[in-house]
Amino acid sequence: MFESATEALALLFTLKGSLYLCLGVGIGLVFGAIPGLGGTTAIALLIPLTFGMQPAEAITLIGGVMGSVAFGGSISAILLNTPGIAPNAATCFDGFPLAQQGKAGMAIGAAATASSLGGILGVAILMAVIPIAKEIVLLFGPPEFFALAILGLGAIALSTGGKFLRGLIAGGVGLALAFVGLDAVNGGDRFTGDVEYLLDGVRLVPTLTGVFAIAEMINLTLKGGRVVSGDGASMKISRVSDGIVSVFRNVPILLRGSAIGAFIGAIPGVGGTVASFLSYASTVQASKNPESFGTGNIQGVIAPESANNAKDGGALIPTLAFGIPGSAEMAIFLGVLILHGLEPGPMMLVEHEGVVFSLIVAVASAAILASIIGLILARWLSLITLVDVHILAPTVVAVALVGVYALHNSMGDVAVAMIFGIIGFLMIRYDYPRITAVIALVLGELAERSYHQSMMIGDGSYSIFYGRPISAVLLIATVLIILSPSIRGWLRNRKREA
Amino acid sequence: MKSKIILSTAAAFVAAGFVGNAQAAFPEKDITFLIPFSPGGGMDSTSRQVAKNMGKYLPNKVNVVPKNVPGAGGRKGYGLLAKAGGDGYTISVINMPGAIIPQLTGQKVNFDVTKFVWVGRMSTSPYLFGVSGKSSIKTVADLKNLGRSVKVLSTGFGSTAYTGASIFKTVVGFPVQFVTGYKGSKQYIVGVVRGDGDAGIAPTQTFNKFVKSGDIHGVVTFEEKSSFKGVPTIAEAGYPELTGLGVERMVAAAPGTPANIAKILSDAVGKAIADTDSQAWAKKTRRPFGHLSGADTQAAVDKALAIFKKYPAALAKSN
Amino acid sequence: MADSAGMNSPHSDKMILNLLPPLIVSAFAVIFLTWSYTYDQKAQQVPVLVGWSLIVLCVLDLVAATGTALGNGIKTFFTGTIVGEASGEAVAAQPMRKVLVAMVWPVAFVVLVYFVGFLISIPIYVFTFVVFQGRKSVKVGAWSAVAATAFTWIVFSQLMQYEVFPGLLFGGQ
């Protein structure tokens, strides 16, 4: 095993290897930062280019993209309150307020550091788990996935506090939308009204671009001025190094975020959005002053950014164990393997060690390289916050929609993005949290499908959920999490009385 | 009067010239090869390989340009083919029987597979019916004598796997309870290994690694000749009419394409597959071709339809 | 949660406006629920559950929005601080006309793109937006338009070899 790892590392230090890595990182950063694009698009685009390459080279290129996309997205999240890719949505919550206070450099510095360390930790967790990867994947079946989906949904409902009611409603709407399209269990289609475009369901990329990017641009148009509040003359772009240092002052948050990211990343189909938000929400819950979040607490940047990079390590677990893609990018990566004559499956680690380690090394290196580039460019990037929003808004809208179109050459996607842009803006206007709708949209499909599958496996009895140890534990954890604020309030009251 | 005769004769010559030209000139421009699936999968790579080498075997050496049009399990692409003109400039890879199941099960679709003009078959992936390596089920007879329903894991109702398993159980006659909702064959094979259910059906290539590692035991294979040690073919098990049950990758031209153009395309597909570059690719990626001409493909499609007609219960929802 | 006194009084002019969002969501829930019932038993199970839950929540939201004693009680029950999203209050102060105009801009852009494609629409949209909505000088508008279009063209058409939608009038579908 060690020879393959060192071989993969050696490739990196060749001219060709590092060239491919840099190219991948460059593409990943740009595609990550532009709302409406993302890693999946970038990798899909690159596939034809990999035809002539050696497998290890192709994988270095793709790994480079994978490891850098999440950090690229954090840049627009921080500077424009618009996540570059959906997993950066949670970074907006505290990243953007920091930018508004003139601390964009610090936020980017923290994001860069958290991303690279999170990426490395995710890979470390993967390496630790590889020997038992198969067993882990076998432990998680439909009942466990159902319990996890419910846990995720419960956590988001909880985290909206004062907008709890509207958070639940937004979540309900998200769930309703999740059911549109082909029913994976029963085979028919639902809620499509015979519109062919809807057969694949409410498409995630245009919807999220609309709800976050377009809606935010409409909001900014009305707010006016510049991203940075206060007058420009006295504004300073704060030191990036402060951001870097802050990560090392918050190591527990980094560790927890990475663990959550790796774990959620290993669940096929759930992905970075849930991982980053759960990391954010758990950090808020664990914090001594939760009210400070949303106003520019640097921990609110570190938590999601470490998670959304660690998820790549996690996504490799089912991918390597059985050839089941842990994420959309992994699915395409597997396709590339097949194209090059490598057969993913339970023997992948045994038969294609070299290729596997090339990917791992590439992803980890990409995270570091992307962060270094980001740190160098941070000061210049922060200058965007000084640009008048009336120039920013139409530019972002235009470029985001070009990106949305480019995904599937579909104006239908652009129309969807626009519709959800309006809906998203109305949600901002009337205080319906968008993040709960988004998470519900992502988790709804998994929850319903796993529920039906579990019932079929368990012959119609609910005991399948509490009979199996893991799902039982998860369900109990869900109940505890939902009750936790009440429990804490009760404990606090008791202390006061004592 | 005389001028009229001259004019009409001239017109006749010009018309004949056009018709003659149209026939001899096909193809005059690039041909679009639709791929109703996402880039990177088996459908995509096989199609691209054939497209790559087709051009040089066509008169006028035009390009055959692959175009991915994924969506709704292939329906989007099939719909595009149905709408395309029958001039031979649009062809598509067709997953059989996946493409025809929707219309056979009464779903509303905007294409009719029986109207497609078949230009050839690129490859075929016959199924294997497998159980967990730890299962007590070993043979087809065991399936019948289990004393309870066999729990078969699969993708949703209407998918090729569901339909394949359905045909298998209808012909052999053993009770099945489906657990659907898995997103793909790898997922439900892992489900079988995990113990979510008893069995699953999928192309032999998908099972390869699992059989090799011992996680899966093959009960019966639908190949003509078994490539798994100790696993009988369906013919050896006593049901020869099911030989070949699996997924086939056909190529079709739009409805209304004239026979002579279809023949040109069919020959080009055949030569593209026989080309040394394609054969080398097939060996390297372990994806052997199983070429059939356009006419033979039509026969294969008819045979599949006949089986569906003979066993209508196979298309009904089981549970 | 910062609430102006006006919004909590039952006789506020804003009350009707406040009731509108919960009403719209309720309508959505009712349509969704009715539609769910048209499907098979298994297919309708979870959507029906979600539909009913949504209706219950919307009723609570409606009552909360009325600003009556019961409504305020519901609001207090669900207190705490919002994690993350800035409140919509800042925008709430804007006149309706301004809000509508802000929403119309990107919609108009999309319509324009549909007919003449991105490369023509982007400069027009950015220029007119910067000059008319942003009240900047023509020079700033022109430079912004050029920058946005150039960026799109370079990154998408050239670097990525993407087909940037040319518009209905010029051959797109």
Question: How does pLDDT run across A231-247, given as a tens digit for each residue?
Answer: 443 345 567 888 899 99
- Last residue of a domain, which of B210, B244, B278? B244
Minimum mean pLDDT range among A151-155, A391-395, B113-117, C85-89: C85-89
Spatial neighbors of B130 by CB under 8 A, at least 6 apart, are B189, B192, B199, B200, B201, B202, B207, B210, B211, B216, B217, B218, B219
The rounded distance, in Å, linking the Cα atoms of B191 and A137 is 10
Nearest to A47 among B40, B156, B319 (CB): B40
Residues B71 and B97 in one domain: yes
Given a cut of 70, whether residue A367 has pLDDT beyond it is yes
Query: Model confidence over A293-348: pLDDT tens digits?
Result: 888 899 999 999 999 999 988 998 888 888 788 887 888 778 777 777 677 766 66
Residue that is written with structure tokens 């893609």 in the block: A325
* Terminal-residue alpha carbon distance, chain A: 59
- Range from A343-352, A360-369, B267-276 that averages highest in pLDDT: B267-276
pLDDT score recorded for residue A133: 85
Query: Residue B202 maps to which CATH number?
Result: 3.40.190.10
Q: What is the mean pLDDT of residues C116-140?
A: 89
Measured CA to CA, the distance from residue C63 to residue A59 in angstroms comes to 57
Do B95 and B38 meet the contact criterion of CB atoms below 8 Å apart? no
Residues B184 and B279 in one domain: no
pLDDT for position B131: 96
Q: How does residue A2 score in pLDDT terms, banded at 50, 70 and 90?
A: low
Mean pLDDT of A48-69: 84
What is the rounded CA–CA span in Å between residue B187 and residue B183?
6
B113 and B259 co-located in one domain: yes
**What value does the mean pLDDT of chain A take?**
84
Range from A256-265, A347-356, B164-173 carrying the lowest mean pLDDT: A347-356
Work out the minimum CA distance from A292 to partner chain C, whole angstroms: 9
Q: Which pLDDT score, from 0 to 100, does residue A254 have?
A: 95
Between helix B259-274 and helix B42-54 the angle, nearest 10°, is: 100
Query: Could you give phi then psi for residue B84, rounded to 5 degrees?
Result: -70, 155
Q: What percent of chain A is modeled with pLDDT above 70? A: 91
Judgement on whether residues B233 and B161 belong to the same structural domain of the protein: yes
- According to the model, what pLDDT value does residue A238 have? 67
Same domain membership, residue B234 and residue B143: yes
How far is the alpha carbon of A355 from chain C, nearest alpha carbon, in Å? 27
The ipTM assigned to this model is 0.84
Please give, rounded to a whole number of angstroms, the shortest distance from the CA of A12 to a CA of chain C.
Answer: 25
pLDDT, tens only, B97-144: 989 998 888 888 889 999 999 999 999 999 999 999 999 999 999 999
Most confident option among A359-368, A398-407, B41-50, B113-122: B113-122
Distance in Å, alpha carbon of A74 to nearest chain B alpha carbon: 28
Any domain includes B289: yes
Q: What are phi and psi of A285, to 5 degrees?
A: -60, -40
Q: Which residue has the tokens 């001409």?
A: B293
Residues with Cβ within 8 Å of C142's Cβ and at least 6 positions away in sequence, in order, are C127
pLDDT of residue B10: 53
User: In this predicted structure, what is the pLDDT of residue A142?
Assistant: 93
Q: Buried (b) or exposed (e) across B256-270, using 16+ Cβ within 10 A?
A: ebeeebbebbbbbbb
Is position B318 within any domain? no
Cα–Cα distance for residue pair A313/A401, rounded to 1 Å: 31
pLDDT of residue A288: 82
pLDDT one-digit tens code per residue, A101-145: 888 889 999 999 999 999 999 999 998 988 888 888 898 899 999
What pLDDT does B263 receive? 92
**Which of these three, B186, B214, B244, is where a domain ends?**
B244
Domain check: are B60 and B168 in the same one? no
DSSP state of A226: B
Q: What is the rounded distance in angstroms from the CA atom of residue A469 to the CA atom of residue B135?
A: 23
Q: In chain B, how many domains are there?
A: 2
pLDDT tens for A154-165 read 877 666 656 778
Residues in chain A within 8 Å Cβ distance of B46: none
pLDDT (0 to 100) of residue A304: 95
Residue range(s) defining the domain that contains residue B46 = 28-125+246-313
pLDDT score at C78: 59
Residue B66: asked if its preceding bond is cis (omega within 30°), the reply is no
**A388–C107 C-beta distance less than 8 A:** no
Q: pTM for this one?
A: 0.84
Residue B231 in tokens: 């696993």
pLDDT-based confidence at residue C1 (cuts at 50, 70, 90): very low
| Same domain, yes or no: B213 and B301 | no
Identify the pLDDT of residue A481: 76
Q: Does residue B144 sit in the same domain as residue B201?
A: yes
Whether B76 contacts chain A with CB within 8 A? yes
**Total structural domains in chain A?**
1
In a domain, B261, yes or no: yes
The residue among B61, B93, B42, B54 whose CA lies nearest residue B274 is B54
For position C9, what pLDDT does the model report? 47
Q: Is B126 helix (H, G, I), strand (E, B) or coil?
A: strand
* The one-letter amino acid at A205: V
CA dist list (Å): A146 to A317, B20, B179, B192, B196? 19, 65, 15, 18, 14
pLDDT at A452 over 90: yes
Q: Are residues B92 and B134 in the same domain?
A: no
pLDDT given for residue C8 in this prediction: 47
pLDDT in tens, B173-205: 999 999 999 988 888 999 999 999 999 999 998
Kindly report the average pLDDT of chain B as a whole number. Answer: 87
Residues A286 and A305: their CA atoms lie apart, in Å, by 17
CA dihedral angle for residue B109, residue B112, residue B113, residue B118, rounded to 10 degrees = -140
Instruction: Please check the confidence at residue A190 and state whether its pLDDT lies above 70.
Output: yes
pLDDT value of position C6: 42
Structure confidence at residue C3 as a pLDDT band (50, 70, 90): very low
Q: Based on the domain organization, do B136 and B236 belong to the same domain?
A: yes
Cross-chain residue pair C42–A433, CB shorter than 8 Å: no
Interfacial B residues in 265-284 facing A (CB < 8 Å) = 284
A387 and chain C: CB distance < 8 Å anywhere? no
Per this entry, what is the length of chain A?
A: 498
Q: Look at residue A156 in the predicted model and tell me its pLDDT.
A: 74
- Selected for mutation to probe chain A from B47, B107, B132, B194 (highest A CB count within 10 Å) is B194
CA separation, residue A482 to residues A148, A150, A175, A389, B85 (Å):
14, 11, 19, 39, 59
pLDDT for residue B285 = 75
Cα maximum dimension of chain A: 74
Quote the pLDDT of residue A159: 67
Distances (CA, A) of B136 to A205, B189, C170: 46, 17, 65
Quick one: pLDDT at residue A176? 95
Kindly list the residues from chain C whose CB atom is less than 8 angstroms away from the CB atom of residue A214.
Answer: 106
Last residue of a domain, one of B198, B217, B244: B244
User: A 37-56 residues with CB below 8 A of C?
Assistant: 45
pLDDT of residue C82: 38
Q: Which helix (H) or strand (E) holds B129?
A: strand B117-132
Q: B120 and B254 share a domain?
A: yes
Structural domain including A89 reads: 2-497
* Alpha carbon distance A172, C47 (integer Å): 10
Cβ atoms of A320 and C108 within 8 Å: the answer is: no
Range of lowest pLDDT (A29-38, A172-181, C113-122)? A29-38
